[in-house]
Structure 1
Amino acid sequence: MASAAQHRLRDWLLSLYQYLLPQHTLSRLMYRLTRHRIAWLTGLQIRLFARIFGVNLEEAESSSPKDYPNFNAFFTRALGEGTRPIAGPADAVVSPVDGRISQLGPLTGNRLIQAKGWSYSLVDLLGGSETRAAPFQDGQFATLYLSPKDYHRIHMPLSGCLREMVYLPGRLFSVSPKTVNGIPNLFARNERVVSIFETEAGPLAMVLVGAIFVGSIETVWAGQITPPYRHQPCHWLYEGEKALPLEKGQEMGRFNMGSTVILILPPGVIHWQSSLQPESRILMGQTLGQLTTTVQVDAERQRASA
């Protein structure tokens, strides 16, 4: 039986061609291809895509390809009312997306697990800021992978108030499981948008990771952040009157084509669902974990003194 190291070597060799691809150019072409308004071609794209990837159109707010002005409108489609109920318990931390668990569990210091036997730096993932990363040292994380067939809007796992957003330029490697197993430090090398929220559990980082053909990320408060592709990081603060409250389950952004979301929480605030393991399927609104008793008591005290 092949060892983990042998699997990594195989996946690295299979991923080598991606270093040579003009990743941003291909993503610009995909951006245009998914936004043309040629009705018959859009309908053909949607039908072929739904058939190849097994998209369940019956879950969508509109199940007819004719109702979408372009392919991207279909790809970022809304779901029908009640299709993704938000888990009821107040202590539930819910999945922000439809997808699969790539990894979840504790950080070791400032290291997150990328794949079996591989880890990467929290500081690098969050843009090189020791200050930004400090509250999450020895915390908890969950990496969620969205396949092409999945619902591609991103929702809040907890109620929170937006405090900071950072755009970090980078590569656009694929985030498929084989590539994640083959390219070291992938999530800290790819283009990404980091949003920091203040919640009853303390700070929450949500990292939206771009990928090849996925070079377009947007949030509900800032609209489309990329493209244009930038060569330098961009930083926004949301303080005082600019602070933006968002409820658990509320939409916070979307991928225009599929990718990965990484959630990061401080130490001692969450217990992940014991049934969730790498490759587990999860839907937006389902319970990822529960807040600890200490967090719940502190939150109740804060509400009582408010």
Structure 2
Amino acid sequence: MRISFRRYLGSMRWFHIPAAAGFALVGYQQYRHIRDRERRKLQTQTPEELVIPSWQVTLLKQLPTRSLSRVAGMLTDITLPIWLRWAAFSAYAWAFKCNMEEAEVEDITCYESFGKFFTRHLKDGARVIDKDHDLVSPADGQILCFGAVCDDKIEQVKGINYSLSTFFGPDSEIVKYCRNSSANGHVNSPTKNGACVDKCLYHCVIYLSPGDYHRFHSPTEWKIQYRRHFPGTLMSVSPLALKFVRGLFAYNERVNLRGEWKHGLFSMTAVGAYNVGSIKINFDSDLATNLPGSFTEGVFKDFHYAKSSVSSVGVGRGENIGEFNFGSTIVLLFEAPTDFNFTVDLGQKIKYGQAIGTSGLQ
């Protein structure tokens, strides 16, 4: 069969399109090209090559994220009219996949503000607290990293580390612990019955997305003796941001609770993030985060519960400790025997109360 291209071309009808539509089409094609190119670049570069230089981090730290987060906090506390609540909270729940069936109050029109919606309580029995393992997740979220700590370094994401001394402060008990450890991070520590056990320092980082349950709980039975508050910046702590900014957790505002559990030293740190200026600790009414003019780099505020009327705070497994206003990160750092075994995977979604790991030494 023969086709007459001349006849075909001659029958074509040409028409004009608006210039704006043409530019939009060209712009969209260019955007797709750049997006695909950057995606291929991310896949081929090493973690070290992705980290942005220090001068760019300095510029990021100059952004008014603390002020903007305070404004966001004020907006989330505004009482919404009932007619607006259903549309606003339904859209948010759909966008971030919030499971309202497990909320203590399922009717979203009963939440007066976004702040109340973010910090909603769960129904009794919505989470099962594991009792067969030493350590459970303190929050709903995603496991970003975990493992043993050696040479004063802790993992941020795979291939990117940062210093414990910058995260906890140079004179922290945790930093002193690392200085006294051997090259492989082991310390020969006595147990309560006097026997010496080879131990190590471990860490686990859990990221809370905007759609996750925003309260955090005790991951084990322990005694909280001390609080250190770093009024820092408020940059995003999303998994993507962690690939580009080394030591991001050490820049952001954070509250470190330190004490002891059955295996020795135990630490739990709530790290703030952009739009998360508020970190609340239930038993600590003196703590106030993201206050105007409170940020001076490298400066922190200590509080010893043992020297106050509160004394040390004993908390049980699964007990509610505090809350974020939007979603952020929990960093666990703890001493445990060298046979401690993590039961989670990188990137795993986890619910509070689910097992993180355990030791054979009980």
Q: TM-score, normalized by length of structure 2?
A: 0.75
Match of 1:25 in 2: 67
**2-structure distance, mates of 1:97, 1:7:** 32
Is the alpha carbon distance of 1:101 and 1:2 closer, same or farther for their aligned partners in structure 2, counting shifts above 3 Å? same
Match status 1:187 vs 2:262? no
- Cα RMSD of the aligned pairs, angstroms, is 2.5
Match status 1:95 vs 2:137? yes
Cα contact 1:201–1:269 (8 A) shared by 2: no
Is the alpha carbon distance of 1:270 and 1:158 closer, same or farther for their aligned partners in structure 2, counting shifts above 3 Å? farther
* Aligned residue among 188, 212, 228 for 2:274: 212
Match of 1:272 in 2: 341
Question: How far did residue 160 of structure 1 move?
Answer: 1.0
Cα contact 1:101–1:144 (8 A) shared by 2: yes
User: Which residues in structure 2 correspond to 1:119-268 (within 5 Å)?
Assistant: 119-135=161-177, 138=185, 139-223=201-285, 225-229=288-292, 230-231=294-295, 232-239=299-306, 242-268=311-337
**2-structure distance, mates of 1:15, 1:182:** 9
Question: How far did residue 6 of structure 1 move?
Answer: 7.4
**2-structure distance, mates of 1:225, 1:176:** 24
**2-structure distance, mates of 1:52, 1:119:** 32
Is the alpha carbon distance of 1:159 and 1:3 closer, same or farther for their aligned partners in structure 2, counting shifts above 3 Å? same
Q: Quick one: which amino acid aligns to residue 305 of structure 2?
A: Y
Large movers: runs of 4+ above 6 Å: 14-17
Q: Quick one: which amino acid aligns to residue 73 of structure 1?
A: K
Match status 1:4 vs 2:4? no
Superposed CA deviations along residues 125-182 of structure 1, whole A, max 9, x for unmatched, are 1123243432366310001001111011111111111100011011111001110110
Is the alpha carbon distance of 1:282 and 1:192 closer, same or farther for their aligned partners in structure 2, counting shifts above 3 Å? same
Is the alpha carbon distance of 1:30 and 1:269 closer, same or farther for their aligned partners in structure 2, counting shifts above 3 Å? farther
Question: How far did residue 247 of structure 1 move?
Answer: 0.5
Match status 1:47 vs 2:90? yes
**1-structure distance, mates of 2:139, 2:329:** 9
Q: Quick one: which amino acid aligns to residue 229 of structure 2?
A: Y
Match of 1:301 in 2: none
Between 199-208 and 39-48, the greater mean CA deviation after superposition: 39-48
Superposed CA deviations along residues 68-112 of structure 1, whole A, max 9, x for unmatched, are 1211111011111101110022x4310000001111001122100
Q: Quick one: which amino acid aligns to residue 126 of structure 1?
A: F
- Secondary structure (helix, strand or coil) at the match of 1:188 reads helix
Is the alpha carbon distance of 1:62 and 1:130 closer, same or farther for their aligned partners in structure 2, counting shifts above 3 Å? closer
Match of 1:82 in 2: 125
Question: How far did residue 17 of structure 1 move?
Answer: 8.1
Question: How far did residue 192 of structure 1 move?
Answer: 0.4
Question: How far did residue 226 of structure 1 move?
Answer: 1.1
Question: How far did residue 37 of structure 1 move?
Answer: 1.0
**1-structure distance, mates of 2:245, 2:274:** 14
Q: Quick one: which amino acid aligns to residue 341 of structure 2?
A: W
**2-structure distance, mates of 1:10, 1:242:** 44
Q: Quick one: which amino acid aligns to residue 282 of structure 2?
A: V
Cα contact 2:215–2:320 (8 A) shared by 1: yes
Question: How far did residue 272 of structure 1 move?
Answer: 3.5
**2-structure distance, mates of 1:58, 1:158:** 27
Q: TM-score, normalized by length of structure 1?
A: 0.88
Cα contact 1:269–1:292 (8 A) shared by 2: no
- Secondary structure (helix, strand or coil) at the match of 2:91 reads helix
Question: How far did residue 5 of structure 1 move?
Answer: 3.8
Cα contact 2:282–2:322 (8 A) shared by 1: yes
Residues paired across the two proteins, number: 292
Between 223-232 and 139-148, the greater mean CA deviation after superposition: 223-232
Cα contact 2:47–2:243 (8 A) shared by 1: no
Cα contact 1:209–1:260 (8 A) shared by 2: yes
Between 219-228 and 116-125, the greater mean CA deviation after superposition: 219-228
- Percent of pairs identical after alignment? 30
**Looking at CA atoms only, which structure, 1 or 2, has the larger radius of gyration?**
2
- Secondary structure (helix, strand or coil) at the match of 1:55 reads coil
**Unaligned segments of structure 1, at least 5 residues:** 297-306
Q: Quick one: which amino acid aligns to residue 254 of structure 2?
A: R
Question: How far did residue 249 of structure 1 move?
Answer: 0.6
